[in-house]
Amino acid sequence: MSKSEYMTYEQSGVSIDAGDRMVGHIAGAVASTHGPRVITLENGFAGLFRLDYDEKLFKRNYKNPVLVACTDGVGTKIKIGQMINRYDTVGIDLVAMNVNDMIVHGAEPLFFLDYLAVNKLEPESIAQTVEGVAAGCKQANCALIGGETAEMPDIYRRGEFDMAGFAVGVVERGKIITGANVQKGDVILGLASSGLHSNGYTLARDICFNKAGLKVTDTIDELEGAVLGDVLLEPTRIYVKPIVKLLAQYRVKKVVRAMAHITGGGLLGNIPRVLPKICNAVIKKSNWPVSEVFSFLQETGPVEESEMFRVFNMGIGFVLIVAPDFASSIAKKLKRYGETVYKIGTITAGTGKVVLK
């Protein structure tokens, strides 16, 4: 039998050589996220990370550490990237959806891993995606210590891919934030989102492309002439640095009672996850400006307001419930750290739900 008659993996749709080229493309981006806790292991089968370390310059040891882990994806937002062949922002989204969940409990993100599944491994496109992940990790002060890219032509059609992320962080056991201390009179602060973040895209795509017949390259007057694809691909805001910095200011006093990442389910679905059953969160809708993209989707649909608040973040990406005496100072600190902060409501006696007014 001649050599040309033998079957190869590449003929079946999987290229080992392309995988090797991809690794070369992303090596620099991955290494740029590493700090003193990452242990370099060339050609290793897993990533290594020190929880404690004793070097004088970087000393950081925990008394009673609790590891915190999250996993998430970016949903159908990746379809927007596929439509315009742009993959740099969804990597940031992938990190954001994990680390924003983690900091809710007072944790500091430590490291991140990603998983990409593709039809065909195209090193340049994959490198663009991983560079986005690395950019997100830098924003979150965590190390990208590993990942996997799976070429699966029998599962995904040409041009299709999916991605998932996995984050691990740490919090001192005595500083875990659960919401158990939330009480009547507490103030609800909302941090502005950067847009849709990574939720509600199935509805958003249905409105834009099926109902309105728009293209990703269209400019939208209602969005100040912005290109629709750019608006839909605006990456999720990462709140790690300001929240971690804020919590470090209150080492003894537990003035931050609870926090919530406003993802799928919106304010209505996520705030109750950290509310005691004897409390309600009363939210005043007029206390912050709703981003133009939400107004555009609501009017174009049309979509009822109650459904908008159930699906989208409506301009608030992260919520803090804080002691009333500290609300003003906390808001000022967060503004100094670069956040846009609104006092969006208060805690009242109730049954563990959100009341919109």
E-strand ranges in 173-303 read: 187-192, 219-220, 226-227, 256-261, 279-283
Residue spans per domain, the chain: 3-175, 187-356
Burial of 248 by CB count in 10 Å (0-12 exposed, 13-18 middle, 19+ buried)? Answer: exposed
Looking at the domain that runs over 187-356, which CATH code has it been given?
Answer: 3.90.650.10
Tell me the C-alpha distance between 206 and 226, whole Å.
19
Q: What is the DSSP string of 45-67?
A: SS-EE-S-B--TTT-B--SSEEE
Please write the tens of the pLDDT for every residue from 275-334.
Answer: 999 999 999 999 999 999 999 999 999 999 999 999 999 999 999 999 999 999 999 999
> What mean pLDDT is reported for the chain?
89
Tell me which fold the domain 3-175 belongs to: 60s Ribosomal Protein L30; Chain: A; (3.30.1330)
Which residue from 91, 163, 166, 93 is spatially nearest to 131, judged by alpha carbons?
91
* Cα torsion 305, 225, 74, 334: sign: negative
Taking a C-beta distance cutoff of 8 angstroms, is the pair 116, 159 a contact? no
For residue 110, name the pLDDT band (cuts at 50, 70, 90): very high
Q: CA–CA distance from 35 to each of 99, 148, 249, 295 (Å)?
A: 17, 21, 23, 42
Please write the tens of the pLDDT for every residue from 248-274.
Answer: 999 888 999 999 999 999 999 999 999
Tell me the C-alpha distance between 258 and 260, whole Å.
7
Parallel, antiparallel, or unpaired for β 108-118 and 143-151?
parallel
Cβ neighbour number for residue 259 with a 10 Å cutoff: 25
| Whether the predicted pLDDT of 95 surpasses 90 | yes
Which residue from 102, 110, 106 is spatially nearest to 173, judged by alpha carbons?
106
pLDDT at 29: 67
Considering just the CA atoms, what is the radius of gyration of the chain in Å? 22
pTM for the model? 0.89
| Whether the predicted pLDDT of 11 surpasses 70 | no
pLDDT at 211: 94
CA atoms within 13 A on the CB side of 108: 17
Please write the tens of the pLDDT for every residue from 27-79.
Answer: 666 667 777 777 777 767 777 777 877 766 566 778 899 999 999 999 999 99
Q: CA–CA distance from 163 to each of 21, 92, 250, 292, 325 (Å)?
A: 20, 12, 36, 28, 43
Please write the tens of the pLDDT for every residue from 220-233.
Answer: 999 999 999 999 99
Please write the tens of the pLDDT for every residue from 130-169.
Answer: 999 999 999 999 999 988 888 888 888 888 889 999 999 9
Question: Greater confidence, 354 or 82?
Answer: 354
